[in-house]
Amino acid sequence: MAKTQLNVRVDEGTARAARERALARGISVNRYIEELVRQDTGEAGRAFVEAAADFMKQYESVFAEEFGRDREGSREGRR
């Protein structure tokens, strides 16, 4: 895949954090930023959203029972 240069301006704290994280992972800052963008737009994000949706479907009745509107009065008693 062809590479394109992208220049960005960030504050010094953000730049320092990026350098430190990249160093800790043993990769270049370029690669670190590239991986962050891929994670944000790629499979990891979609997988998380799908897993969260499945979790909510599976436990919807539990949440409804605990936090549902029909329990409004009983929650006030716990405060």
Rounded CA Rg of the chain: 22
Residues 44-58: tens digit of each pLDDT: 667 778 888 999 889
Question: Which of residues 53 and 70 earns the better pLDDT score?
Answer: 53
Strands (E), the chain: none
Q: Is the pLDDT higher at 71 or at 65? A: 65
Each residue of 12-51: pLDDT tens digit? 999 999 999 999 999 999 999 999 988 878 776 677 788 8
Region for 41 from its dihedrals, namely left if φ exceeds 0, alpha if ψ lies in -120 to 50, beta otherwise? alpha
Residue with tokens 């270049």: 28
Q: What per-residue confidence (pLDDT) applies to 49?
A: 82
What size, in residues, is the chain?
79
